[in-house]
Amino acid sequence: MNSRSWLASIGIMAVIASASGCTSKPNEPTGLSASEICDGTLDSSSRTALEKISGSSNFEENYFGTSEAFTLDRVVKNLHSDTSERATCYVSNKESAGKPLLDIDFEAVNRHPSPDPEGADRRNQYEFPMGEFAIVGEQGGATLFFSCPNKGDSGTTQFVKATLFTILPLAADEMTILNSVSRRLADKMGCADVANLPAKVPAPTGG
């Protein structure tokens, strides 16, 4: 190979190396719309809610140590697993500098709290008449228990606990987001008929 051919080959290899170096990594911005995050589980109302409380229309999914994207299939598969093994949807944007604006997690459980609207009012919380128990906490974040009998390595459980943690201010919109993802999961698991998750989140009690 003459020197000119050798230099040309080096140039081509450099271009290929440069292109491969630009491949997105799990923690790099992906530029997703609200309709694309969390396996496309946000309906129109929840997309509007997310954009409203975050002040953004462009998001990222950070997988924090795993190369596997959040999918409902992974949620179902790992519903009975420990926290570190469960599928969690982490959502961030440019302004949050990689820190999650919110993360959504699901867990198989056999118990749930009892509704207590008066107690929620004293604690400046919001309870919602849906599922088995649904609440938005004083410091932000939402929790939703819904009926969904399912089997796993730990046995059969009767409920799913859905949790949304967030750095965003307290807002009833958080339940709208959590409910949308939960409804899609209930459909996936075949328990939508007993989950009591309405298409539209009802007005809260308390707070």
Retrieve residue 62's tokens. 């950070």
Is-above-0.85 flag for pTM?
no
CB proximity list for 43: less than 8 A, separation 6 or greater: 180, 183, 199
202 token code pair: 């009802």
Of the candidates 207, 189, 182, the residue with the CA atom closest to the CA atom of residue 199:
182
User: Which of 12-21, 27-36, 166-175 is the most confident on average?
Assistant: 166-175
Instruction: Give residue-wise pLDDT tens across range 38-96.
Output: 999 999 999 999 998 888 899 988 766 666 789 999 999 999 988 778 889 999 887 77
Give the pLDDT of residue 54: 86
